[in-house]
Amino acid sequence: MSARTKNVLLVAVIVVAVVGVVGTLAARPREPRLDRDLCPLGQALHRHVVVLVDPSDRLTPSQKAEVRQEIEAQQSSLGKGDRLTLLLLQSAEPGEVVRKVFSKCFPGDGSDVNPLFANQAMLKARFEKEFHAPLGTALREIESAPEAEASPILQAVRGIATHPGFSAAVRERKLILFTDGIEHSEVANFYRRVPRLELTGSAYTDISGRFDGASVIMRRLRTGRPVYDEARLDAFWRGLFEKAGAGSIQVTWL
Protein backbone atom coordinates (compact mmCIF):
# COMPACT_ATOMS: atom_id res chain seq x y z
CA MET A 1 0.00 0.00 0.00
CA SER A 2 1.45 3.35 -1.07
CA ALA A 3 2.07 6.21 1.34
CA ARG A 4 -0.56 8.24 -0.49
CA THR A 5 -3.17 5.53 -0.06
CA LYS A 6 -2.35 5.24 3.64
CA ASN A 7 -2.79 8.99 4.08
CA VAL A 8 -6.13 8.92 2.31
CA LEU A 9 -7.34 6.07 4.53
CA LEU A 10 -6.14 7.86 7.65
CA VAL A 11 -7.98 11.03 6.69
CA ALA A 12 -11.12 9.00 5.99
CA VAL A 13 -10.95 7.33 9.41
CA ILE A 14 -10.50 10.70 11.11
CA VAL A 15 -13.44 12.18 9.22
CA VAL A 16 -15.68 9.24 10.13
CA ALA A 17 -14.66 9.51 13.77
CA VAL A 18 -15.32 13.25 13.91
CA VAL A 19 -18.67 12.85 12.19
CA GLY A 20 -19.57 10.12 14.67
CA VAL A 21 -18.68 12.26 17.68
CA VAL A 22 -20.53 15.27 16.32
CA GLY A 23 -23.53 13.12 15.51
CA THR A 24 -23.58 11.67 19.01
CA LEU A 25 -23.36 15.12 20.60
CA ALA A 26 -26.00 16.54 18.29
CA ALA A 27 -28.34 13.67 19.13
CA ARG A 28 -28.32 14.59 22.80
CA PRO A 29 -31.38 16.69 23.72
CA ARG A 30 -31.24 20.45 23.94
CA GLU A 31 -31.80 22.07 27.31
CA PRO A 32 -35.44 23.18 27.73
CA ARG A 33 -36.41 26.72 28.61
CA LEU A 34 -37.24 27.16 32.29
CA ASP A 35 -39.71 29.32 34.20
CA ARG A 36 -38.82 31.36 37.28
CA ASP A 37 -39.08 28.25 39.47
CA LEU A 38 -36.61 26.44 37.17
CA CYS A 39 -39.37 24.14 35.85
CA PRO A 40 -39.35 23.26 32.11
CA LEU A 41 -41.78 25.42 30.17
CA GLY A 42 -44.57 23.56 28.45
CA GLN A 43 -43.85 20.26 30.20
CA ALA A 44 -46.02 18.49 32.77
CA LEU A 45 -44.61 18.00 36.25
CA HIS A 46 -43.75 14.32 36.72
CA ARG A 47 -42.54 14.24 40.34
CA HIS A 48 -43.18 16.47 43.35
CA VAL A 49 -41.75 16.02 46.84
CA VAL A 50 -43.31 18.18 49.58
CA VAL A 51 -41.76 18.43 53.05
CA LEU A 52 -43.89 20.00 55.81
CA VAL A 53 -42.16 20.92 59.08
CA ASP A 54 -44.22 21.63 62.20
CA PRO A 55 -42.30 23.85 64.66
CA SER A 56 -45.06 23.95 67.29
CA ASP A 57 -42.23 22.89 69.60
CA ARG A 58 -38.75 24.12 68.82
CA LEU A 59 -36.76 21.40 67.07
CA THR A 60 -34.00 19.77 69.10
CA PRO A 61 -30.47 19.62 67.61
CA SER A 62 -30.93 15.94 66.70
CA GLN A 63 -34.31 16.66 65.08
CA LYS A 64 -32.80 19.52 63.07
CA ALA A 65 -30.11 17.14 61.85
CA GLU A 66 -32.75 14.57 60.85
CA VAL A 67 -34.78 17.18 58.97
CA ARG A 68 -31.70 18.45 57.11
CA GLN A 69 -30.56 14.92 56.28
CA GLU A 70 -33.99 13.97 54.91
CA ILE A 71 -34.29 17.11 52.79
CA GLU A 72 -30.78 16.71 51.39
CA ALA A 73 -31.52 13.07 50.59
CA GLN A 74 -34.71 14.05 48.76
CA GLN A 75 -32.83 16.73 46.84
CA SER A 76 -30.20 14.19 45.80
CA SER A 77 -32.92 11.87 44.50
CA LEU A 78 -34.46 14.48 42.19
CA GLY A 79 -34.28 14.09 38.46
CA LYS A 80 -34.18 17.08 36.14
CA GLY A 81 -37.54 18.81 36.21
CA ASP A 82 -38.64 17.22 39.51
CA ARG A 83 -39.95 19.68 42.10
CA LEU A 84 -39.03 20.02 45.77
CA THR A 85 -41.21 22.15 48.08
CA LEU A 86 -40.45 22.98 51.72
CA LEU A 87 -43.20 24.31 53.98
CA LEU A 88 -43.26 25.57 57.56
CA LEU A 89 -46.43 25.13 59.57
CA GLN A 90 -46.63 28.81 60.43
CA SER A 91 -47.35 31.98 58.58
CA ALA A 92 -47.14 35.71 59.05
CA GLU A 93 -50.03 36.21 56.62
CA PRO A 94 -53.61 36.29 57.98
CA GLY A 95 -55.67 33.32 56.87
CA GLU A 96 -52.69 31.18 55.90
CA VAL A 97 -51.40 28.22 57.88
CA VAL A 98 -48.15 27.43 56.07
CA ARG A 99 -45.18 29.43 54.88
CA LYS A 100 -43.44 28.32 51.71
CA VAL A 101 -39.69 28.64 52.22
CA PHE A 102 -38.62 26.84 49.04
CA SER A 103 -40.27 25.48 45.91
CA LYS A 104 -38.24 24.87 42.76
CA CYS A 105 -37.62 22.27 40.12
CA PHE A 106 -34.19 20.67 39.95
CA PRO A 107 -32.53 22.08 36.82
CA GLY A 108 -29.45 19.86 36.87
CA ASP A 109 -25.93 21.13 37.43
CA GLY A 110 -24.88 21.24 33.78
CA SER A 111 -22.77 18.10 33.89
CA ASP A 112 -24.96 16.16 31.44
CA VAL A 113 -25.78 18.85 28.88
CA ASN A 114 -24.87 18.93 25.20
CA PRO A 115 -21.83 21.23 24.93
CA LEU A 116 -22.79 22.04 21.32
CA PHE A 117 -25.95 23.76 22.49
CA ALA A 118 -25.38 24.78 26.12
CA ASN A 119 -22.73 26.40 28.29
CA GLN A 120 -21.90 23.93 31.05
CA ALA A 121 -20.20 26.48 33.28
CA MET A 122 -23.16 28.85 32.99
CA LEU A 123 -25.64 26.11 33.85
CA LYS A 124 -23.62 25.03 36.87
CA ALA A 125 -23.48 28.63 38.06
CA ARG A 126 -27.26 28.89 37.63
CA PHE A 127 -27.74 25.72 39.67
CA GLU A 128 -25.56 27.05 42.48
CA LYS A 129 -27.14 30.52 42.53
CA GLU A 130 -30.81 29.76 41.86
CA PHE A 131 -31.29 26.30 43.39
CA HIS A 132 -28.54 25.20 45.76
CA ALA A 133 -28.01 28.53 47.55
CA PRO A 134 -31.77 29.20 48.11
CA LEU A 135 -32.15 25.61 49.39
CA GLY A 136 -29.40 26.26 51.93
CA THR A 137 -31.14 29.44 53.03
CA ALA A 138 -34.43 27.55 53.41
CA LEU A 139 -32.77 24.87 55.55
CA ARG A 140 -31.35 27.50 57.88
CA GLU A 141 -34.77 29.17 58.08
CA ILE A 142 -36.38 25.88 59.07
CA GLU A 143 -33.73 25.20 61.70
CA SER A 144 -34.16 28.64 63.26
CA ALA A 145 -37.98 28.72 63.11
CA PRO A 146 -39.56 29.93 66.38
CA GLU A 147 -42.20 27.90 68.15
CA ALA A 148 -45.65 28.25 66.61
CA GLU A 149 -48.64 29.10 68.77
CA ALA A 150 -50.96 26.73 66.93
CA SER A 151 -50.58 23.51 64.98
CA PRO A 152 -53.18 23.40 62.18
CA ILE A 153 -51.86 20.20 60.61
CA LEU A 154 -55.20 19.20 59.09
CA GLN A 155 -55.59 22.51 57.28
CA ALA A 156 -52.04 22.29 55.97
CA VAL A 157 -52.54 18.74 54.70
CA ARG A 158 -55.79 19.70 52.99
CA GLY A 159 -54.07 22.69 51.39
CA ILE A 160 -51.37 20.41 49.98
CA ALA A 161 -53.93 17.82 48.85
CA THR A 162 -55.96 20.36 46.91
CA HIS A 163 -53.03 22.24 45.37
CA PRO A 164 -52.79 21.83 41.56
CA GLY A 165 -49.07 21.08 41.85
CA PHE A 166 -49.87 18.02 43.97
CA SER A 167 -52.80 16.70 41.97
CA ALA A 168 -53.17 13.23 40.46
CA ALA A 169 -51.84 14.69 37.21
CA VAL A 170 -48.39 14.54 38.80
CA ARG A 171 -47.18 10.99 38.19
CA GLU A 172 -45.15 10.60 41.41
CA ARG A 173 -46.02 12.46 44.62
CA LYS A 174 -44.49 12.27 48.06
CA LEU A 175 -45.43 14.09 51.27
CA ILE A 176 -43.04 14.03 54.23
CA LEU A 177 -44.28 15.49 57.51
CA PHE A 178 -42.10 16.34 60.49
CA THR A 179 -44.64 16.84 63.26
CA ASP A 180 -45.72 15.61 66.66
CA GLY A 181 -49.09 14.90 65.05
CA ILE A 182 -50.96 16.82 67.72
CA GLU A 183 -53.57 19.01 66.04
CA HIS A 184 -54.07 22.22 68.01
CA SER A 185 -56.25 24.64 66.10
CA GLU A 186 -59.77 25.93 65.71
CA VAL A 187 -60.59 22.60 64.02
CA ALA A 188 -59.60 20.30 66.89
CA ASN A 189 -57.50 20.09 70.03
CA PHE A 190 -55.80 16.72 70.34
CA TYR A 191 -54.36 17.67 73.73
CA ARG A 192 -57.85 17.25 75.12
CA ARG A 193 -58.82 14.20 73.12
CA VAL A 194 -57.79 12.46 69.92
CA PRO A 195 -61.06 11.92 68.05
CA ARG A 196 -62.01 8.96 65.94
CA LEU A 197 -61.58 9.97 62.31
CA GLU A 198 -65.15 9.17 61.32
CA LEU A 199 -66.50 11.38 64.12
CA THR A 200 -64.50 14.55 63.46
CA GLY A 201 -67.11 16.12 61.18
CA SER A 202 -64.49 18.48 59.78
CA ALA A 203 -64.19 19.49 56.15
CA TYR A 204 -60.43 19.32 56.60
CA THR A 205 -60.56 15.54 57.03
CA ASP A 206 -62.57 15.07 53.84
CA ILE A 207 -59.73 14.56 51.37
CA SER A 208 -60.92 11.24 49.96
CA GLY A 209 -58.87 10.21 46.95
CA ARG A 210 -56.74 13.35 47.00
CA PHE A 211 -53.56 11.36 47.72
CA ASP A 212 -54.38 8.58 45.28
CA GLY A 213 -51.15 6.58 44.85
CA ALA A 214 -49.00 9.13 46.68
CA SER A 215 -46.38 8.23 49.28
CA VAL A 216 -46.79 9.67 52.78
CA ILE A 217 -44.07 9.61 55.42
CA MET A 218 -44.80 11.00 58.88
CA ARG A 219 -41.76 11.54 61.08
CA ARG A 220 -43.27 11.92 64.53
CA LEU A 221 -41.35 14.45 66.64
CA ARG A 222 -41.06 13.65 70.32
CA THR A 223 -41.97 16.59 72.56
CA GLY A 224 -42.49 17.19 76.24
CA ARG A 225 -46.22 17.64 75.80
CA PRO A 226 -48.39 14.71 76.88
CA VAL A 227 -50.78 12.86 74.62
CA TYR A 228 -52.84 10.32 76.47
CA ASP A 229 -53.59 7.94 73.62
CA GLU A 230 -50.64 7.53 71.25
CA ALA A 231 -52.23 4.49 69.59
CA ARG A 232 -55.34 6.47 68.69
CA LEU A 233 -53.19 9.36 67.44
CA ASP A 234 -51.29 7.07 65.06
CA ALA A 235 -54.54 5.43 64.00
CA PHE A 236 -56.07 8.83 63.22
CA TRP A 237 -53.29 9.86 60.84
CA ARG A 238 -53.00 6.46 59.20
CA GLY A 239 -56.78 6.40 58.74
CA LEU A 240 -56.78 9.90 57.25
CA PHE A 241 -54.19 9.08 54.59
CA GLU A 242 -55.70 5.67 53.88
CA LYS A 243 -59.03 7.39 53.26
CA ALA A 244 -57.19 9.85 51.02
CA GLY A 245 -55.94 6.93 48.92
CA ALA A 246 -52.21 7.10 49.71
CA GLY A 247 -50.27 4.30 48.06
CA SER A 248 -47.89 3.91 51.01
CA ILE A 249 -47.91 5.28 54.55
CA GLN A 250 -45.01 5.25 56.99
CA VAL A 251 -45.17 6.57 60.54
CA THR A 252 -41.92 6.61 62.53
CA TRP A 253 -40.63 8.36 65.62
CA LEU A 254 -37.70 10.76 65.83
* Residue 36 domain-assigned (yes or no): no
221 with 142, same domain: the answer is yes
* Residue 40 domain-assigned (yes or no): no
- What is the value of pTM for the model shown? 0.85
Per-residue CA distances from 252 to 70, 117, 140 (Å): 13, 46, 24
144 with 233, same domain: the answer is yes
209 with 177, same domain: the answer is yes
23 with 89, same domain: the answer is no
The residue type of 67 is V
User: What domain range includes position 7?
Assistant: 1-30
84 with 159, same domain: the answer is yes
71 with 183, same domain: the answer is yes
Cβ–Cβ < 8 Å for 247, 215: yes
* Residue 41 domain-assigned (yes or no): no
pLDDT digits (tens, 9 = 90+) for 190-236: 888 888 887 566 767 889 899 999 999 999 998 876 666 888 999 99
93 with 146, same domain: the answer is yes
3 with 108, same domain: the answer is no
One DSSP character per residue, 168-183 reads TTSSEEEEEEEE----
118 with 235, same domain: the answer is yes
143 with 233, same domain: the answer is yes
Cβ–Cβ < 8 Å for 254, 219: yes
* Residue 71 domain-assigned (yes or no): yes
* Residue 35 domain-assigned (yes or no): no
CA angle 154, 161, 40 (to 5 degrees): 140
Q: Predicted confidence band at 112 (pLDDT cuts at 50, 70, 90)?
A: confident
Domains of the chain: total: 2
Across 14-23, 214-223, 225-234, 238-247, least confident range: 14-23
* Residue 140 domain-assigned (yes or no): yes
86 with 181, same domain: the answer is yes
101 with 153, same domain: the answer is yes
Share of the chain above pLDDT 90, in %: 60
